[in-house]
Amino acid sequence: MRDKEIVMTDIIIVGAGGCGREVANWIEDINQVEETWNILGFLDDDPDALKGFACRYGIIGAIKDHAPGKDVKYAMGIANPAAKKLVGSGMVEKGAQFACIIHPSTRIYSEYEPGIGLVTYPNSKIATGCKIGDFVTLQSTILGHDSWLEDYVTVSSSCGITGGTKLHEGCFIGDHACIAVGLEIGANSYVGIGSVVIRNVAENVRVFGNPARVFAVREK
C-alpha cells in the first residue's frame, strides 16, 4: 500500500519583525502536528528587517509591491493594530487570502467562527460565546466567556480579559493587563502593561496604572 501523499499549502508571512518571526515558529509547531504549511518567506517593506537575526526564511519581497497569488495563503505577522489595518485591508483588496494561524496548544470553545487572519500564540484560550473579528492577535492569553474582539485588536501575553468584555476595533492591550467584567475598551485605545481597568475606556486614549487612568489622547 502506497503512503498517502502529503500536500502542503504555500504560505507567506506578512511582516518580518519580531511578531512575524514568532508566527513562523507557530506555523512550524502546526506542522509538527500535521504537515500543513510550506513557508515561502516574509513580505516586508524594510529589506533589512531580518538583519542581525537568525531566521530560516528570507524576505521575498516588499508588501507594497506584492501581487497576491491565487494558490498561496498569507499569515499576518504584524501586531500593531494600525499597521495591521493598513496592510491587511490593502492586501485583501488586492485579492490576498489570509489564513488563521491557530497554535496547536490553543483551546477554542466558542461556537462562533473567527474572522480572517487570526493568530493565536501558545496556550491561548477562547471561551464559549466569544466573537472574534478580522486580524485579531492573541499572544498567549485567555478570553473570558462572551468576550467580543472587533477587527485588528491585539491582546498581549497573560492578560485578564474577563467575561463579557468588548474590545473595539484597533485597540491594543499590553502584557498582564486586567479588564473587569463587562467593560468596553474604545476603538484605537491603548491599555498599558500591567494596568487594571475598572471602568470603560473611551476611544483614542492611552491608559495606564492601577486603577487605569488616561495619560494621553491618541491621534485618530
pLDDT tens-digit series, residues 36-70: 999 999 999 999 999 999 999 999 999 999 999 88
pLDDT bucket at 179, cuts 50 / 70 / 90: very high
Domains of the chain in sequence order: 9-99 (3.40.50.20), 102-220 (2.160.10.10)
- The tally of CA atoms less than 13 A away on the side-chain side of residue 49 is 24
What digits encode the pLDDT tens for the residues 105-124?
Answer: 999 999 999 999 999 999 99
CA angle 216-219-220, nearest 5°? 130
- The tally of CA atoms less than 13 A away on the side-chain side of residue 175 is 1
**Least confident span in 60-64, 81-85, 106-110, 216-220:** 216-220
Mean pLDDT of all residues in 171-187: 97
Say how far apart CA 149 and CA 169 lie, in whole Å: 7
213 pLDDT higher than 90: yes
130 pLDDT higher than 90: yes
pLDDT above 90 as % of the chain: 93
Say how far apart CA 172 and CA 136 lie, in whole Å: 10
